[in-house]
Structure 1
Amino acid sequence: METTKRPGWDTLGLMVLLVLGIIALAAIPLSGASDSLVFVTITGFSQLVFATLALGFAVRTARLKTLTPRVRRAWLLMLPSYALWPVTIVLYGIFPGQEFPSPPDVLRLLIPPATLIGILSFARIPAAPAERAKLRLDAGLVGVGSAMVLWYLMVSPALADSSVGWRELVPSVIHPLTGAALLFGIGVVLMRGPQAAASRRPLLAIVAATLLILTGDAVRAYTLNSGGPVIPTVLQSSLWTGGVFVLMLAPYVQAWYARRPEASRSGTDLRATPRPPRWPYLTVLPGYALLLITVGIRDPFPAGGLIVGALIVSTLAFARQMVSAQESRRLAVTDGLTGLANRVQLYEALPRALARAGRNGTRVGVLIIDMNGFKQVNDTLGHQAGDQLLIGFGELLRRCVLGSDLVARLGGDEFTVVLPDISDEVQAQAVIRRIRAAMAEPIDVGPTMVQPNASIGMAISAPGELAMDELLHRADLAMYETKNSRNAVRP
């Protein structure tokens, strides 16, 4: 009974948290001037309550046995960031208005690197060195583009003001650096996604909270550098409070989804080749815009035209790089002859299908298909005819499966089909019957028509099975049994 009631209570708790957050954020602009006691009390109390609840939820989530070990480890690495928030808020109440380096200011500087470590622990990092290098370059582009904006808003005004002392200058420099590093980590996460699908929404909540807090930091620094009030404004306090509130929701949502296996179901197309993200290259646009505003407008001839030309050239270079990256990715996971998936894509897609089947209580079917008589076609009609036979047979297999299934060429005349999220072997047998029926039609190989024939082996994953190699091995053995029986008694 507990497992059936628990999700209902979790949903009710989430609704209560959302209502509390809306009330707190609505109360901030209604509580009077930013220097009033009511405003300071409501803002500080709301942030402390949210930060304390966030720490409690994070500790609970890190201990959930229903999460995978890698996800639990990621939440353990997030705990220092969550623990620093309530301590820092309390210290700001004990040491109000003190200059840098006050105890809360120092602790506040530790939050970004702690958050960066936690965020990166969620990300799915590619195994190939070249892919890791491209990921670092793309994420570095995000960090540099964001740093240009932070330089304009936070660092440059502080350096230009000769009256600014080291107590104001040091945090004005350190905060943008740590902010740019955090944005680098956010870029990695958004481009690669989380290790586990169940962590996608909680991780997006952490990213959103971090962006709200960084925006609040940037607004406050710009306000101070422009001669504004030292006391945080309504906008700054709302951004910070909203950030801490969303940070609190992330571990709660993770636990909420952990008890809902149906929430992790998805109809992901195993054949899809992920496109390289385009948005990282857009992060340089704010930097160019600021450069055009500060330099180009004052000196349009020749500086303005040169800046616009540099922007156009950079845009074309980025577009060219995106086309190359997408083509490289396609070639890396696609068989060059048939256009089917290759072993690389198979070994990426099959573990994901097994993991999703384990969460959803379904199974994965694997067919190993070996063509019969292919060597004779090569020997008698030539390799070009053999290639045409392989291409035609690959198209035959594509026509016999659903859009979410994966058809791959293992090499030579051997193919495989992955059938995700099936209930039993009856569905796999139906695919085999479609393939055998399709082989009744000959394939045009150029000089003549060839009747395709193949031996098919089938294996169905056991409930919760995650061993990809074992599943492929069983399908391979079943294929050889079919081939041997065909050779013993020919139809």
Structure 2
Amino acid sequence: MGQPDVATLRLVLGFAGVLSLAVMAVLRHAGGRGDGTGQWLAAAVLSVTAYLLPPAVRWSRPDLCIAVNSGLTLSSMLLMLEGALVLRGFGDAGRRRVPVTMACLGILALMLVSAGRPWLHVVLHDALACLLLVGTGMVLAWRAPRWSWAAAGGMGLLFAGLGLLYLWRGGGLLLAGPGADTRMPAWLLAATLVWAMGWTGLFPALAVARERERRREVAERDALTGLASRGAFLRQAVLVPGRQEGLLLLGLEGVRALNGSLGHEEGDRLLAAFAARLREAAGPDMLAGRLTGAQFALLLPGMKDRADLLATAGRLRAALSVPLVMGDRVQVAEFSLGTALAPEDGRSVTGLLEAAERAMFRVRAVAQAVG
């Protein structure tokens, strides 16, 4: 492929960058906040700048033009990696903001420092590009949720594939030594064009799928406590045939009295604090849900027998009895607890809930009789 074809590829790649920028701007305007759209939009801005700035400025040193292009392109790739981390919910994006900004400036400085040595400059560029692109591909595709398999998997392949091509080019230059031809080959430009068009087309599908999943999660979560709603709990609480499963039903006491004396806001604070303590005490293996206003349920998988269930219930009762800190007040949560064990007390979640409710009523009756 001759030089005119390379020039054409560069021009088309610039238009692809403008298209990516337009798509990201539309998605951002549509309300994308928690899916990394802001980082991808910033990446598209840097990418377009990298392709349009060199021909728009008269450079006294062509190597500086190449260095600026490389620095902006690598910074764009770094922002895409950050956008992928935000999309997948890895880490705290707020804490990474300053380090990512410093890393972008560091990349630009590195490219400018190596501007006078083309071989070293390109080897460094290709090594960083490989790391950033393959890293982004892994973040997108690794254990991708079912709702994002197609789009996230496709984008992951595109990023990892382009990263490996940069590794191939950079590795070849490293083996050839400083005298090798450092000009951008046409096949790498063509691959970059395919990559740019590919992720531009797949990202909107990924963003739409993420928004649908977010809405589903919101619909299945209790707005006040963040626990599973009643409907979600009944759908997600699956009993495994042949395995003993435990269920705890907890009725929080005193919410109505608190609403009447201090207002509904204080009652909501008590419910939210109790739910947070319940989620913390339950751990990741137990499904917790809010069934009604002050009634909570907890599914305990893999109980050995009823003694194991009662021992687990005792540990949870002790954890939930620790006073709750609610702003400037400290309050002990009073609650009733009923237990049920599958398959002895029921072979369905509904049956277990009914059995646990009967057990909870018996506990309340005994407590009232004693009191």
TM-score normalised by the chain length of structure 1: 0.39
TM-score normalised by the chain length of structure 2: 0.50
